[in-house]
Amino acid sequence: MKTKSIQVDNMELVNEMKLCFQARSENESFARVAVAGFLTYLNPTLEEIEDIKTAVSEAVTNAIIHGYEEKETAMVYVSGMIYRDEEGYLLQVVVEDTGKGIADIEKAMEPMFTTKPELERSGMGFAFMEAFMDDVQVESEVLKGTTVTLSKRLGKYEEEAYEG
């Protein structure tokens, strides 16, 4: 297990949510829209929302097609946390499956690498997560499942300004 390069230990957890849904491709859009909705009250920029939606979509798609290999009754777990410190807000999204796991995480994260070229997977999923988020951590165990933790600092917002 790698140490997290973004530490939330000294931050205050100000909001939290949990979702759990079937591993159906229809739910890819549900997951990213729900996460975007979760942070709307912080008034993020359009660019921040687009970046986060893409990263969440990549992680959830991976869980569905790689973790569970499209076994639709399996469940995908997504949780969202908003942390705060003097620098501002940080969004953390954890996407978890209890599927087949990743044998070689480093290989899986290489750009253009895919185990499913027949499905026209571009192999860009992890590269996009890394490009659009500040930090991506992957923990996995074969036959146990995979947990992807995505973190992104949000611009400094005055929460009070949007309360009423």
Partner 1 sequence: MKFIRQEDNVLIVTLPEEIDHHKTSELAEQIDETLLNGTADKVIFDFARTRFMDSSGIGLLVGRYRKVHSFGGQVLVCNVTGHMAKILQLSGVEKFIGKYEGTI
Catalytic residues: 58, 62, 121
Which residue, among 2, 70, 3, 60, has the nearest Cα to 28 in the 3D structure?
60
The CB-of-143 to partner 1 minimum distance in angstroms stands at 23
d(CA 78, CA 37): 14
DSSP 164: -
Answer positive or negative: Cα dihedral of 18, 20, 21, 27: positive
Report the C-alpha gap between 60 and 14 in whole angstroms: 24
With respect to partner 1, which residue has the nearer C-beta, 63 or 82?
A: 63
Residue 38, exposed/middle/buried by CB under 10 A (0-12, 13-18, 19+)? buried
Could you tell me the smallest distance in angstroms from the CB atom of residue 27 to partner 1?
Answer: 8
In terms of CB distance, is 105 or 127 closer to partner 1? 127
What residues make contact with partner 1 under the rule CB under 8 A?
A: 25-26, 28-29, 32, 46-47, 50-51, 53-54, 57-58, 61, 64-65, 119-122, 124-125, 127-128, 131
Q: Which amino acid is residue 149, in one-letter code?
A: T
121 vs 153 by CB, closer to partner 1: 121
Q: Which is nearer to partner 1, 30 or 159 (CB)?
A: 30
Three-class SS of 76-107: EEEEEEEEEECCEEEEEEEEEECCCCCCCHHH
Write down the least CB distance from residue 76 to partner 1, Å.
13
Least spacing, CB of residue 161 vs partner 1, in Å: 26
